């Protein structure tokens, strides 16, 4: 590894300093996040754990540049998200951020292949032929090589989530954010989806940030951050995180 790459790897992938999120509710102001400090390393798998309403999904949105903090600093891949406008944050997301959501977020008018191909085309890093080949390759990796021309409504929930995973990883993101990725799936299907996420996390050295209320899933990550009432109350390293921990 050359000196420049080593230096880049030493810089946190994600660095949050004194992050506060407040929203107005009528005449009142509700504080959702209370001055959070957090660093995430390159290639790290981390779970954001907390009860409903604790602020974990809000935190994920801010880390990913989908939302803005009311105050504080958020640096992702060397980009100061707190100093960027929406178009600039969108460019950062397009250049190295992947997403997997609880509700899949596939475009219903596009086939599985087209859903995976579209973000590849948007990056303008590949020819149309290369985008087509990469999209097909990733769908084959998630076991959907036989469902390329099927629309989301023709796919099961587990299949739709596998399309979402293929779409997320096809652009080779440096970080993937997943918000309750198994929330709408049965346990066996959910386990398969999580296995895929961790497999690609390890193979591609992609940082993986999961929002979950599932402690078993959190144990599979190298680290878990527990959020309560908008504050970090626990930060645990899991030295022996294993593929078999999600049972």
**Would you say 212 and 57 are in contact if contact means Cβ atoms under 8 Å apart?**
no
pLDDT band with cut points at 50, 70 and 90 for residue 247: very low
pLDDT at residue 106, as a whole number: 94
User: 6-39: buried (b, 16+ CB within 10 Å) or exposed (e) per residue?
Assistant: eeeeeebbbbbeebebeeeeeeeeeebbbbbebe
pLDDT band with cut points at 50, 70 and 90 for residue 211: very high
Strand order through the sheet with 71-76: 28-40, 14-25, 71-76, 79-80
In this structure, what is the dihedral angle of CA atoms 189, 191, 192, 198, given to the nearest 10 degrees? Answer: 150
Residue 231 has pLDDT above 90, yes or no: yes
**Would you say 56 and 211 are in contact if contact means Cβ atoms under 8 Å apart?**
yes
pLDDT, mean of residues 39-55: 91
**Would you say 32 and 56 are in contact if contact means Cβ atoms under 8 Å apart?**
no
- C-alpha–C-alpha distance, residues 128 and 125, integer Å: 10
Contacts of 7 (CB under 8 A, 6+ apart): none
pLDDT at residue 8, as a whole number: 52
Residue 13 has pLDDT above 50, yes or no: yes
pLDDT at residue 245, as a whole number: 43
DSSP state of 154: G
Q: How high is the mean pLDDT of the chain?
A: 88
141 three-state secondary structure: helix
Joined together, the tokens standing for residue 224 give 């878990």
pLDDT, tens only, 142-191: 999 999 999 999 999 999 999 999 999 998 899 999 998 888 888 888 88
- C-alpha–C-alpha distance, residues 158 and 187, integer Å: 11
pLDDT at residue 226, as a whole number: 93
């Amino acid at each position: 590894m050359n000196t420049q790459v080593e230096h880049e790897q030493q810089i946190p992938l994600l660095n949050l300093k004194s992050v506060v999120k407040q929203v107005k509710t009528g005449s009142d102001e509700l504080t959702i996040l209370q001055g959070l400090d957090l660093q995430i390393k390159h290639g790290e798998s981390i779970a954001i754990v907390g009860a409903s309403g604790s602020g974990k999904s809000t935190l994920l949105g801010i880390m990913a540049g989908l939302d803005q903090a009311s105050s504080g600093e958020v640096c992702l891949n060397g980009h100061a998200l707190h100093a960027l406008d929406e178009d600039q944050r969108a460019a950062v997301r397009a250049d190295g951020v992947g997403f997997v959501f609880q509700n899949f977020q596939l475009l219903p008018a596009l086939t599985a292949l087209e859903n995976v191909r579209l973000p590849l085309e948007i990056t303008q890093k590949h020819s149309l032929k290369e985008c087509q080949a990469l999209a097909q390759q990733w769908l084959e990796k998630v076991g959907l090589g036989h469902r390329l021309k099927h629309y989301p409504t023709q796919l099961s929930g587990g299949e739709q989530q596998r399309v979402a995973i293929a779409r997320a990883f096809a652009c080779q993101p440096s970080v993937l954010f997943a918000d309750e990725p198994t929330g709408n799936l049965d346990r066996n299907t959910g386990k398969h989806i999580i296995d895929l996420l961790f497999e690609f996390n390890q193979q591609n050295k992609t940082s993986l940030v999961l929002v979950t209320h599932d402690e078993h899933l959190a144990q599979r990550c190298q680290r878990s951050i527990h959020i309560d009432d908008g504050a970090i109350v626990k930060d645990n390293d899991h030295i022996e995180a294993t593929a078999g921990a999600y049972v």
